[in-house]
Structure 1
């Protein structure tokens, strides 16, 4: 501990990195009944804390080592740290990155004049190739986490937090991949105040440190998830493991949905968007407060990075609702007859805010509906299931079903040979609580609904796609009905996409 403290306090990180602010998230603090502080490592020149450790290691190299250049393997953030440091010191840099690395990180490394080699699907595969290349070209290998000088560089985050908070902390939540950040921070924090809890946070599908601490030795995972690519490490370092075993209090594991919810929490607090790995600290706080219910404590989340492809935001936004426990998903079976949808909404969903509603005519006996509702937590979901059962509806809770959330919700539909004289319409109606139920009530039971799809998009107007079986003799009556309904609409029966897929 003493050697590590000395290395942290004498590190050279500030030749390249900045001291990032420790900001209070006022709204989050009020919501969670604890003082929530965010350590903004996403504001570093490379948008990640990794610059600290990389520069500290490279700056300490001998002249001979510097002349040979540096090589590193990384999922992205360490790569940028090494490339930035090498550029600043005038050194040659070669970076081996997994082929799955987000494009934004690959482009950022190339912009820093480093050579990039893409290899493998995970950090471990890239690291093995990097070691092979280092042996061939003689370049100095800069390990992303299992190196004393790298760990010391990351430990300067804790030094700043203690000064910025005057040491008045209860717990610090740290993202964990290979363990470099939490090892350095834990060593420093426990040396200054052993009462501060140091809590690591890992995704369930990349939880190498959790299993290693449980087993008592570094465990290698068979595979890792790549959603939080910044912590997708199959095996933690031996040195980082030893420090974590001594100084880390516990590891919390979180789901993909919880990470997405944390990204939103950070956005609402800072108006900045962190990457999935960067949101792990906040995800840990959310789970910690929800399950253990502390009050009046000062909790710090490390916003460790903000390098994320913009295109991923669509997926994150979808999963945020379930991650915050504000949306639950169900499959509901109803009899196939006119008025069934209206009956379901009026008898079961009348007081429930609907977020998604998908239905396609299948047979003339029964139909299956995919519905999202604003319910929070398992107790509310159980109560909703019981309400459905009391009304005679069979249902399945799909809230925790990965297949349903990732694929099924986008595949519901298809052609139906049972749909006769079907007309397709798009509707826009004012988005307010109960709006969808009132919309279905206005539609009445005069014509059979053969297709129905609704998904809230967070705007002022809800959008519905609806298919109706209109008998020839009712066409004039239906046209009058549409005019009297008062909603903006347009017919889509001739749309080529409808004919191709529905």
Structure 2
């Protein structure tokens, strides 16, 4: 069978049957992000679909064209979740059974949503590719009709209706559309329509740096199979792209942008600030791609569209997202001399910058090793601050891009210390404003030593701070005066059994 031409795809997209189940989604401005980037950013809100993802379009467009005999036999698919919901809802609408093979790593919110639509679920493997292999085996055993999540012309055409809507909704110039890429169905459909009717619009595929099968394939000129894929952006965790999607992406996609986990989390935060919507990681790839593109190319005054392609996120993952969303956070390991006034000198160097994290436990009589996060305007400011700290005599190790430090070590600073003599433990609420730490340090009695300090900005109006102070027994009255004059709410945790068990 000859390969479909651009004209063939244009006709298939124009005649696609998606609106029996899908809806035309809004194209919303992102004013805060636009102002910050000095470019107009528009969000195509596919998170508004009944299954909170664009996948419904392609799944239904394929299934509605199956014969009555095929529908009676039932359908099967492999999916990380969003395609599964599209197939399940389409099967419900068309009155057929559906078997969905999902990776065991699929977020529970997606599993529950598919089950609620009446589909049979089989959990298998760690990635889409593992699930697809099992789905192929079950198809052969039972004769199901296979609904591919991306490598099928009807699925691709269904996704292409998104581009048709964008051009109808925004008839003014568009410089580029940024599209999340996993297996390639979405970017292929959008690129096919745009290059047929508005070829001047750039199509930029955006991939997670640890799941970049399409970018690698296009770069090498043949389909590459990754040995493993990152699972944070589970909706795009594909080890090998499709045959047809590779052909289309190679010919039609103008360029690819790779983003890391921190950039995706920051993009999720950006969308929330503009829309109060919480996208899943794959859904925010387009926004992360715009930010990376602007940073790399230095553009201004242009108009960009990001496909906000999904919002099926486990609520529990928000803890991780919030932790990693502050892309303008510089993280350092700083060595400070164990002498009175050294912490105050360090605080003076930090100045009015917001401290996002501060972890310290006394462990050496000569030097204090501090894990600290500081909010910066950009990556260059972080490097400049590291140089400034080093010049002031504080040996500084930049950990901003160290995954071990950010994932694990930041939570493990501390433990028991034989040097923590006469230690009192207090839990404070600090106001979240620059200078709160400096005021605390300036108020300390010159003979008292900080033996423990833990703080992490949680985005609230008050920061929760744990402080160990070495206060001689005879200074009880002075300690009470200090606490009262400070004016920060506090609790004495010195008798807490958890403290006694793990830190004392």
Tell me what 2:345 maps to.
343
2:112 equivalent to 1:107: yes
Check if 1:87 corresponds to 2:92: yes
Aligned to 1:330: 332
Cα drift, residue 167 of structure 1 = 5.7
Deviations 1:398-427 (A, max 9, x none): 111111111111111111122112110112
Q: Equivalent residue for 1:9? A: 14
Describe the SS at the equivalent of 2:210.
helix
Q: How far does the alpha carbon of each residue in 1:143-171 deviate from its partner, in whole angstroms, 9 at most, with x for none?
A: 00000100010011011111111262110
Identify the residue that residue 372 of structure 2 maps to in structure 1.
371
Show CA shifts across 1:51-96 (max 9, x none): 0000000000011111100000000000000000000000000000
Structure 2 alignment gaps of length 5 or more: 1-5
Q: Which residue of 2 aligns with 1:462?
A: 463
Q: Which of 194, 205, 222 pairs up with 2:227?
A: 222
Tell me by how many angstroms 1:351 deviates: 3.1
Q: Say if 1:252 and 1:210 are closer, same or farther in 2 by CA, change over 3 A.
A: same
Point out where structure 1 has 5 or more consecutive residues left out of the alignment: none
**Which residue in the other structure is 1:233 paired with?**
238
- Separation of aligned partners in 2, 1:27 and 1:312: 24
Q: CA deviation at 1:490?
A: 1.4
Normalising by the residue count of structure 2, what TM-score does the alignment of the two structures yield?
Answer: 0.97
Residues 452 and 466 of structure 2 are in contact (CA less than 8 Å); yes or no, is this contact kept in structure 1? yes
Q: Distance in 2 between matches of 1:422 and 1:133?
A: 64
Pair 1:160 & 2:165 matched: yes
- Matched with 1:361 is 362
SS of the equivalent of 1:480 reads: helix
1:83-232 alignment runs, 5 A limit: 83-166=88-171, 168-232=173-237
Say yes or no: does 1:386 pair with 2:360.
Answer: no
Aligned partners of 1:449 and 1:468 also within 8 Å:
yes
| Superposition CA RMSD, Å | 1.2
Instruction: For residue 24 of structure 1, report the CA deviation from its aligned partner.
Output: 1.4
Contact persistence 1:356–1:371 (CA under 8 A) = yes
Aligned residue for 1:72, secondary structure, equals strand
Q: Is the 8 A contact 1:105 1:307 kept in 2?
A: yes
Conserved 8 A contact 2:104-2:124: yes
Please state whether the residue corresponding to 1:30 is helix, strand or coil.
Answer: helix
Distance (Å, rounded) in 2 between the aligned partners of 1:35 and 1:385: 34
1:397 aligns with 2:398: yes
- CA apart distance, 1:283: 0.4
When structure 1 is superposed on structure 2, of 336-345 and 32-41 the one drifting more is 336-345
SS of 1:384's partner is helix
SS at 2:80 equivalent: coil
Instruction: Report the Cα offset of residue 480 of structure 1.
Output: 2.9
State which of 261, 277, 280 in structure 1 corresponds to 2:282: 277
Post-superposition shift, 1:464? 1.6
Residues 339 and 444 in structure 1, CA contact (< 8 A), matched pair in contact too: no
The CA distance in 2 between the partners of 1:171 and 1:52, in whole Å, is 22
Which sits farther off after the overlay, 416-425 or 66-75?
416-425
Moved more, 180-189 or 290-299: 290-299
* Normalised TM-score (structure 1): 0.97
* Aligned: 1:29 with 2:34: yes
Q: CA deviation at 1:317?
A: 0.7
**Contact 1:342–1:437, Cα closer than 8 Å, also in 2:** yes
Q: In the TM superposition, what is the alpha-carbon distance from 1:458 to its structure 2 partner?
A: 2.2
Give the SS at the match of 1:168: coil
- Listed one character per residue, the Cα deviations across residues 362-382 of structure 1 (whole Å, up to 9, x for unaligned) are 111111001111113332122
User: In 1, distance between residues paired with 2:460 and 2:496?
Assistant: 24
Q: d(CA) in 2 for partners of 1:217 and 1:481? A: 69
- Distance, in Å, in 1 between the alignment partners of 2:191 and 2:260 is 24
Please name the residue that 1:257 is paired with: 262
SS at match of 2:408: helix
How far apart are 1:353 and its partner, in Å?
A: 1.9
